[in-house]
Amino acid sequence: MPGVWCCRTRPARASWQSMHSHRLTSAVPSKHSASRTAKFERESQVMRGPWKRLTWILAAAVPVAAVAGIIWVGTRDLSRFQNRMTEQVRKVTGRELAARVPLTIKLGTEPAMVVEGVTLTNASWGSRPELARVRKLTLFLDPVSLFLGEVKIGRVLLEGADILVERNELGDTNLEMLPPPDGSGPHPGEHRSLRLRTPPAFPWISTIEVRDVVLTIAEGQGRPPVVLEIPAATFKSPAPNQTLQLEGKFTAPQATPLELTGTAGSFDGWMRGLPGSIDVQGAFGGGKIAIKGSVSFKGTNLQITSEGPDVSAFGPYVRLPVPAGGPYVLNAKAGTLRSSLKVEVTTLKVGSSELVGEALFRVDRKGTPTVTINADVSRLDLGDLKPAPSTAPAANAPQGPARLVPTMPFSASWLGRSTMSVTVRLGEIVGLGSKVQNASTTLTSGGTRFTFRAAATVGGGSAGFDLVYDPTGRIGQATLTASASRVSLGDLTTLLGFDIGLRDAVGDIDLRLRGGGRNMRDALNSASGSIEVAVTKGLWPRSQFANWPSETQRLLGGSDNGVPFNCIAGRFDVSGGVAALRRLVVDTPRTTIVGGGYLSLRTEGFEFILAPEARDNQNAGLASSLRVKGGSGRETASALEPNIARLLVGAGVVPSLSAQVNQAAKQAGANPCSVVAPRVEGLRPGLRAQLPVPSAADMRQRGGRPRPQTAGPQRRQQR
């Protein structure tokens, strides 16, 4: 039989080879070609039948096997697997992993294990027991490995995680996780004393997704924590030391989110604080941003470029009240220079304003942090900028009265622990009524002293101030010295952040105050010193005289635009937080007014008496003395008191106020009211006795010094 099979097979094989090797030399087909083709098709159909049946069997068996495998896994007890995972975490990190809800299986298109209420313990010195709190943790399983009898995690999803990264006084972070002391090293019983046991490690998960994660980085006492919110992000990396691909949305509290994609170092690098090469870009505040460079053991070298419609989007990230304005273009770079970090802003254009500057951060030999900031503003257009956006207050929050000077605390916690020097030079400030040039601002803080100085040329005059704060002692000491010469009061008050309505008036101011307290209100409440003001010709808003008596309004004259005046001069003697106005002179085209009163720097309430004198006999009947009360957050009230006029003058001839002002106006370059003001007590000798003083309730419980505490009952000592 084998010989017969061989004889029958060889001719068939030769015939098959001759059929495929036959080359046609004519267009006329062979007489045997049709029969051979039909035979080949019959053999192909016979062979195709079994393969079709096998394909249908596999198509039906695979889903059934998959469903059966998932059901089998879902019915298994996962407590042993959860215990193994907890034990593995303890061996690798030395920390304890706990879950409030046991591990369960989620059946679906992607099989997964779900665990809720996961916590990872913090370092022993940590500020809270948990390093991480995760609301829900989903471990997606690899179906192929599952069919092979192996549980392999393909990706992880963290939802609602709260992670705290902190550093202790020695510089150690709570991310430094080491296995227990007995987790590695040679064991004598294993007879391999010269070999080290392989440390345990986690199986790497290449894809990690996060949702609604809050990351808090605390650098220690004296520094506010950095909070980063991650609404959604995906991190991919083939290995812990390989490039980390990220795509997600990142934001600071109440800030514009950053939508970034690109590469950001490696996972191991971030755990060590040296991520490596960074190249990310994306959208930010309606514009775009790109960050490129590296952070490694060799140093830091980062370049940041951004452009967008509003520069205030950077405010929450740099923790500064950045004003709103745009469009902007920003080019900055950061790098390490020896043992210091230098941040340089090469270009910052906001509208028509331009700025360049640099900041240097270093630690001196004594271990004191030192910050040096220099900025040059070639042009600052106030029309392009608006105040920094602030968060809306709560609807039920009590609203206090509006204040001219806010009650802000002196943030002096960093005094003595850091050295700071800030210098800002402004070439030109536009957007005001007067041209401001050659402005400079200097802030210096070292040891226990804080100094803030500023000076500028405003129009045809100049202005400057000097603030020194010394926090030593129980309440500290603040000293403020300011002066202005021939400066537009409208522009000056605009720069200070408030408006008194004087637009065209030019004045001179000399202020010298000193007070103790931990906030501005307490410092003003105990302040002492003097304030002198002299204003030249201008226009006072009519709205500020709406509550004055009609007789006085007719005496002042003016129009709907305001009440004109020729000059104003006065001096405040400040003591105990009360500014006493001893002499006031106001000259208008129709009357000359003298008076005085007080202004409480703590409550910003005032009370004055005014004694007008008409310049002509026609308006003499309207010149009656009046009393004016008011303050910040309250309406101004006034009433005529004609009997006061008889108490102001002395015996004999009553000197004319208008004549004194006219005589002083003949002096070249002098303010007539400033010349007459020192003579007010001689012209009206009874004025000082009639000046109002603060009430006892207004002077009670000053905040400049701590209230004395009543001593409690003392225990009798037994001898």
Residue 236's pLDDT is 92
For residues 665 and 91, which has the higher predicted lDDT (pLDDT)? 665
Which of 24-38, 220-234, 517-531 has the lowest average pLDDT?
24-38
Residue 79 has phi, psi (to 5 degrees) of: -65, -35
**High-pLDDT (> 70) share of the chain, %:** 74
pTM of this structure: 0.68
**High-pLDDT (> 90) share of the chain, %:** 23
| Predicted confidence (pLDDT) at residue 716 exceeds the cutoff of 50 | no
Spell out where 309-368 has E strands: 328-337, 340-350, 353-363
CA angle 203, 208, 209 (to 5 degrees): 155
Which of 340-344, 559-563, 632-636 has the lowest average pLDDT?
632-636
Q: What is the pLDDT of residues 387-414, one digit of tens each?
A: 776 654 444 444 444 555 555 555 555 5
Cα 671 to Cα 510: distance, rounded to the nearest angstrom: 15
Task: Give the pLDDT mean for 526-550.
Answer: 87
Q: Is 653 exposed, middle or buried (0-12, 13-18, 19+ CB in 10 A)?
A: exposed
Dihedral over Cα of 466, 467, 468, 473: its sign: positive
Task: Give the pLDDT mean for 49-71.
Answer: 59
For residues 712 and 346, which has the higher predicted lDDT (pLDDT)? 346
Q: Is 180 exposed, middle or buried (0-12, 13-18, 19+ CB in 10 A)?
A: exposed
Confidence of residue 245 (pLDDT cuts 50, 70, 90): very high
For residues 498 and 560, which has the higher predicted lDDT (pLDDT)? 560
Mean of pLDDT over the chain: 78
Please answer whether residues 236 and 205 qualify as being in contact, where contact means their C-beta atoms are separated by less than 8 angstroms: no
Q: What is the pLDDT of residues 357-367, one digit of tens each?
A: 999 988 877 77
Most confident listed range (1-5, 73-77, 246-250, 362-366): 246-250
Please answer whether residues 627 and 612 qualify as being in contact, where contact means their C-beta atoms are separated by less than 8 angstroms: no
Task: Give the pLDDT mean for 677-700.
Answer: 80
Q: What is the pLDDT of residues 609-649, one digit of tens each?
A: 999 988 888 888 888 899 999 877 778 888 898 888 788 77
Cα 115 to Cα 72: distance, rounded to the nearest angstrom: 19
Residue 395's pLDDT is 47
CA angle 113, 115, 118 (to 5 degrees): 145
Q: Where are the domains of the chain?
A: 543-694
**Contacts within 8 Å (CB) and 24+ apart, 111-118:** 111/70, 111/73, 111/140, 111/141, 111/143, 111/146, 112/138, 112/139, 112/140, 112/141, 113/78, 113/138, 113/139, 113/141, 114/138, 114/139, 115/82, 115/139
For residues 40 and 534, which has the higher predicted lDDT (pLDDT)? 534
Q: What is the pLDDT of residues 586-614, one digit of tens each?
A: 999 999 999 999 988 777 788 999 999 88
Cα 94 to Cα 227: distance, rounded to the nearest angstrom: 26
Which of 35-44, 202-211, 686-695 has the lowest average pLDDT?
35-44
Q: What is the pLDDT of residues 248-286, one digit of tens each?
A: 999 998 899 999 999 998 888 887 777 889 999 999 999
Cα 32 to Cα 17: distance, rounded to the nearest angstrom: 15
Cα 593 to Cα 577: distance, rounded to the nearest angstrom: 26
Most confident listed range (199-203, 270-274, 295-299, 373-377): 373-377
Cα 168 to Cα 163: distance, rounded to the nearest angstrom: 16
For residues 35 and 244, which has the higher predicted lDDT (pLDDT)? 244
Query: Which among 358, 362, 300, 371 has a CA at the least distance from the CA of 331?
Result: 358
Tokens standing for residue 126: 């940590």
Which residues lie below 8 Å from residue 256, measured CB to CB, with a gap of 6+?
284, 285, 313, 316
Which residues lie below 8 Å from residue 511, measured CB to CB, with a gap of 6+?
465, 480, 481, 482, 483, 529, 530, 531, 532
Residue 164 has phi, psi (to 5 degrees) of: -115, 120
Tokens standing for residue 673: 């009211």
Residue 101's pLDDT is 80
Residue 158's pLDDT is 92
Residue 59's pLDDT is 60
Which residues lie below 8 Å from residue 130, measured CB to CB, with a gap of 6+?
119, 120, 121, 122, 164
Residue 55's pLDDT is 63
Residue 26's pLDDT is 44
Query: Which among 573, 460, 484 has a CA at the least distance from the CA of 535?
Result: 484
Residue 354's pLDDT is 93
Q: Is 192 exposed, middle or buried (0-12, 13-18, 19+ CB in 10 A)?
A: exposed
Tell me the CA end-to-end span of the chain in Å, nearest whole number: 131
Q: What is the pLDDT of residues 98-114, one digit of tens each?
A: 888 887 777 667 778 88
Residue 179's pLDDT is 64
Confidence of residue 42 (pLDDT cuts 50, 70, 90): low
Tokens standing for residue 452: 């803030």
| Predicted confidence (pLDDT) at residue 709 exceeds the cutoff of 50 | no
Task: Give the pLDDT mean for 18-28.
Answer: 46
Residue 106's pLDDT is 75
Q: What is the pLDDT of residues 432-456, one digit of tens each?
A: 777 888 899 998 887 778 889 999 9
Cα 566 to Cα 591: distance, rounded to the nearest angstrom: 10
| Predicted confidence (pLDDT) at residue 163 exceeds the cutoff of 80 | yes
Residue 494 has phi, psi (to 5 degrees) of: -65, -40
| Predicted confidence (pLDDT) at residue 51 exceeds the cutoff of 70 | no
Confidence of residue 241 (pLDDT cuts 50, 70, 90): confident
Examine residue 692 and say whether the peptide bond preceding it is cis (omega within 30 degrees of 0).
no
- Beta-carbon neighbour count of residue 482 at 10 Å? 16
Task: Give the pLDDT mean for 19-30.
Answer: 46
Q: What is the pLDDT of residues 461-488, one digit of tens each?
A: 899 989 888 877 777 788 899 999 988 8
- Beta-carbon neighbour count of residue 513 at 10 Å? 21
| Predicted confidence (pLDDT) at residue 148 exceeds the cutoff of 50 | yes
| Predicted confidence (pLDDT) at residue 29 exceeds the cutoff of 90 | no
Q: Please report, as a single letter, which amino acid is at residue 437.
A: Q
Residue 441's pLDDT is 92
Confidence of residue 306 (pLDDT cuts 50, 70, 90): very high
What residues are paired with 543 via a beta bridge? none
Coil/strand/helix, residue 112: strand
Residue 68's pLDDT is 58
Please answer whether residues 485 and 461 qualify as being in contact, where contact means their C-beta atoms are separated by less than 8 angstroms: yes
For residues 517 and 678, which has the higher predicted lDDT (pLDDT)? 678
3-state secondary structure 202-251: CCCCCEEEEEEEEEEEECCCCCCCEEEEEEEEEEECCCCCCCCEEEEEEE
Q: What is the DSSP letter of 416?
A: T
| Predicted confidence (pLDDT) at residue 501 exceeds the cutoff of 50 | yes
| Predicted confidence (pLDDT) at residue 415 exceeds the cutoff of 50 | yes
